[in-house]
Structure 1
Amino acid sequence: MIGALMLDIASTELTQEDIELLQAPQVGGMILFARNIESPAQVRALTDHMRQIRPDILIAVDQEGGRVQRLKKGFTLLPAMGHFGELYLTQPEKALDLAEQSGWLMATEVLAVGIDFSFAPVLDINDVSDVIGDRAFAQNVADIVPLASAFMKGMQRAGMATTGKHFPGHGSVKVDSHVAAAIDLRSYEEIYNNDMQSFIKLQPQLDALMPAHVIYENVDPNPAGFSPFWIQNVLRQQLKYDGVLFSDDLTMQAACVAGGADARIRAALDAGCDMGLVCNHRESACTALEGIKNFALPNQERLERMRGKIPNIHIAEQLDLGKEWQSVKKAIEEFKNTR
C-alpha cells in the first residue's frame, strides 16, 4: 500500500534510519536530490535497495532540464525548456520535435536507473517570477501548450507519468516561494484566463499536478496546496480533474503559514492532495509522519498511475540505452550547445 508522505535521504546509500522510515505505512514516496547521485549504477543500486525494503514505494526526482536537474554525472544535461520556446518562434516544427525527443530522453534515462517519474513539466508562464524564468517553455499559453504537449508525449512514450506544475500558476508572482510567502493579488478571472489555461488545455495529458505554494489573496486565504477551494472546488469539481495531486515541498518558506510540519501535511491532505512532500529536514519529516499516522491511506488506484515502466536491465557506470537513445542524446546535446 502507498502512503501519503514523500521523503528524502541524506546520502547515496540507505542508513538504518532511512530503512526504518521506508517501512512506515504512511511513507509512500522517496524523492532523490543531487546529493544522492554519484553515477547511474549507484542510483540504480539505491533505488533497487529501496524497493527491496518497500516494493510499493514510488520514487521521484526533479529532472526538468536547465538549472533544475538532479541527475547530472553520467546523464544527459538537458536544455532549459525556455530554449524550445525561443526556437518555436522561428522554427516551430523543429522545436516541437526536439521537445518531444527531450521528454523521451529525460524519461528513458530516469526510468533506467529505477526512478518512477520526474516532477515535470513546468506549465507556468515565464512572466515576472525569477524562480520560474526559463524553466517555463514560453511567455504565453499559445506557445506553452504545444511545446509542453510534445514534451509530455515523449515522456509517456518512454513509460513515464507526467506532473504539471505549479497550478494555477506561479509565473506571475515575483517572490520565490522557497524563501518567502508568495502572494498574488489578481482576481480569479485574471488567473483563469491567463496562467490556468495551460493546465486546462493540457489536462488530458496530465497524470498529476502540483499546486503552487502561492496565496491568491483575492480568491482564497490559503496557499493553493492547502486550499479546498482550489483543489476541491476548482480542480476536482469544476475541471473534473482526477489525476494525482502532490503538494510542493512542505518545508518551503511559503508553506510555513500553515504551522509545523504536522499541521502542514494535514492541511495539504485535508485540502485534497494525495501525497505531501517533506524534504531536506529529517526532523520535520518525522514530525509530519507522526502527524498523519492515523490518517486513512490515500487513493491507491490514482497513485498507482504514477508507477513508471522501469526496465529490468543492468546499469553500468556509463549509460548505454541503445541506438535510439544514442541518436536522440546526440540531437539534444547539439541543440543545447547551440543556445
Structure 2
Amino acid sequence: MLLIGIAGTRLEVHEREWLQHDACAGVVLFGRNFASREQVADLSAAIREAAPRPQLVCVDQEGGRVQRFRDGYSALPALEGFSRRHALDPAAALALAEDHAWLMASEIRASGVDLSFAPVVDLGWGNRAIGNRAFSDTPAVVAAFTRAYVRGMHSAGMAATLKHFPGHGSVLEDTHFEMATDPRALEVLQARDLVPFAAGIEAGADAVMMAHVTYPAVAPEPAGYSPRWIGDILRGDMAFAGVVFSDDIGMKAADSAGGVGARVDAHLDAGCDAVLVCHPELVEDALVAVRDRRLDPRPVERLLGRGTRDWESLLADGRYNESRRKLEGLV
C-alpha cells in the first residue's frame, strides 16, 4: 500500500483520481497543505469522501522545527528539552513528555487527522536530520521517554509510530540529501540504538518507520528495504507485530534502490506494509509500480484514529490548558 503526498491545501482533480486507486491507503500532509485548523479538517474530510475505502491521514507534528501545523495549534517544544529536566527530576520530566504526547495527539485528532508519525526514538548523537528531535543521547533515558510518549499518544486515541528503525541518530548524514552508512556491529546496535525501540514495542507501539541508513555489518542494503532488518530482526527477534512504514522514498538516500518503481518494489518486497510517496511528482510512477501486486489495506487501517474528538470538547478538557501551560516554558 502507498501513503501519498498532495500538492496544496485542497484536492485537485487528478489527486482525487489517485485516491480511487486500490493501492492508496492514505495521505501524508505537510506545511504546504496547511492554511488553518478549519482548512485541515475540511481537507481531511475531502480526502475520505474522495476515496472508496478508509484513508489514513497523517502528518509529522513532533514539535520544535518539525511541526507542520502551527497557526491555531500549541507551540510544541522539541524533544531534546526534556533531557535537561530529566537530569533534575526524572519523574516530572517523563510526566511532562506524556503531556506533550497527549496534547499533540489531541490537537491532531481534533483536526480530523488520524496519525502523527511520532515519537522520534533515535539517539541524539548529532545527526544533521535528527538534531534536537531526539530526547537524549542515552539509550535508557530515551527508552523511558519512549514508554511515556507512547502512553500519552494512546490516551489521546492515536497510534504511536517509532522512528527511525533501527536508529538514525548515530550517523552524521541527513538522508534527505545524502547516503548514510553506519558500520557498527549488530551487537553494538542492540546495546544502544535498538534499546528505545524495544521499550516502545513492549509499551504497545503500533507502527515503526524505517531508516534510509545502511548498516553493512548487518545487511548490504538500507534498513528500509532490508529483509534482514524487517523480517529477521524487527519481526523475528523483536516480535513486532504492528505496521512497518518506509520513510519517504523521495529522499536522496532512497535512490540506492533505483527509480521510483524499483524503490516501491524493494520496500514492499522486504516487508514494509506501506511505502511513503510524499512528493506528488512521484505518485503516478508509484501507482504504476503496484498495479500487479496483491494489496492488503488491513494493517494500515488498524491505525485509523480511535474515537472522535472535536475542538470544542478539547478546549473544555481541563487537561488541555494545563498541559499547554506546563509546556510553554520549554518552547
CA contact (8 A) 1:40 1:113 kept: yes
Would the aligned equivalents of 1:212 and 1:224 in 2 still touch at CA under 8 Å? yes
**Partner residue of 2:291?**
293
Aligned to 1:239: 238
Question: Paired residue for 1:34?
Answer: 31
The one-letter code sitting in structure 2 at the alignment partner of 1:336 is: L
Q: How does 1:117-196 map to 2 (within 5 A)?
A: 117-196=115-194
Report the residue type matching 1:190 in the other structure: V
Separation (CA, whole Å) in 2 of partners of 1:238 and 1:312: 37
| Cα distance, 1:309 vs structure 2 | 2.4
In structure 2, the residue matched to 1:230 is 229
- Alignment correspondent of 1:88: 86
Single out whichever of 324-333 and 190-199 deviates more from structure 2. 324-333
Counterpart in 1 of 2:300?
303
2:47 is the counterpart of 1:53 = no
Task: State the 1:312 CA deviation.
Answer: 5.7
Partner of residue 269, structure 2? 270
Within 5 Å, give how 1:13-32 maps onto structure 2.
13-32=10-29
TM-score, normalised to structure 1, is 0.93
Equivalent residue number for residue 325 of structure 1 = 320
User: Secondary structure at the residue paired with 1:171?
Assistant: coil
Deviations 1:27-62 (A, max 9, x none): 101000001111111100110111111250001000
- Cα offset for 1:327? 2.1
CA contact (8 A) 2:80 2:132 kept: yes
Structure 2 counterpart of 1:275, one-letter code: A
Q: Report the counterpart of residue 336 of structure 1 in structure 2.
A: 330
| Distance (whole Å) between structure 2 residues aligned to residue 185 and residue 214 of structure 1 | 10
**Farther off after superposition, 201-210 or 94-103:** 201-210
SS of residue paired to 1:336: coil
Within 5 Å, give how 1:247-262 maps onto structure 2. 247-262=246-261
C-alpha distance in structure 2 between counterparts of 1:284 and 1:51, whole Å: 21
What secondary structure, in the 3-state scheme, does the structure 2 residue paired with 1:245 have? Answer: strand
Asked whether the 8 Å contact 1:115–1:310 carries over to 2, the reply is no
Which residue identity lines up with residue 114 of structure 1 in the other structure?
G
Aligned equivalent of 2:212:
213
CA offsets per residue over residues 5-33 of structure 1, 9 Å max, x none? 01111111111011111111111010000
Q: Distance in 2 between matches of 1:68 and 1:200?
A: 24
Letter in 2 for 1:271: A
Aligned length: 328
SS in 2 for 1:202: helix
User: Is structure 2 residue 13 aligned with structure 1 residue 10?
Assistant: no
TM-score normalised to the size of structure 2?
A: 0.96
Distance 1:35 1:182 in 2: 27
Is the CA contact (8 Å cut-off) linking 2:25 and 2:297 kept in structure 1? no
Q: Structure 2 CA distance, aligned partners of 1:321 and 1:120?
A: 25
Structure 2, unmatched stretches of 5+, are: none
Counterpart residue number, 1:74: 72
CA distance in 1, matches of 2:118, 2:296: 22
Rounded to whole Å, the distance in 1 between the matches of 2:157 and 2:68 is 20
State the alpha-carbon separation in 2 of the partners of residues 31 and 244 from structure 1.
16
**SS of structure 1 residue aligned to 2:181:** strand
User: Would you say the 8 A contact 1:63–1:106 is kept in 2?
Assistant: yes
Deviates most, 170-179 or 233-242: 233-242
Alpha-carbon distance in 2 for matches of 1:320, 1:11: 28
Deviation of 1:283 after TM superposition, in Å, equals: 3.0
Deviation of 1:306 after TM superposition, in Å, equals: 0.7
Cα drift, residue 194 of structure 1: 1.0
Q: How big is the shift at 1:330?
A: 1.9
- Cα deviation for residue 202 of structure 1 reads 2.0
Instruction: Decide whether aligned partners of structure 1 residues 303 and 239 sit closer, same or farther in structure 2, where only a CA change above 3 A counts.
Output: same
C-alpha distance in structure 2 between counterparts of 1:19 and 1:312, whole Å: 26
Unaligned runs of 5+ in 1: none
Shift of residue 246, structure 1, vs aligned partner:
0.2
Q: Which SS does the other structure have where 2:229 is aligned?
A: helix
**Contact persistence 1:275–1:298 (CA under 8 A):** no
Give the counterpart of 1:104 among 102, 105, 119: 102
Cα offset for 1:299?
Answer: 5.7
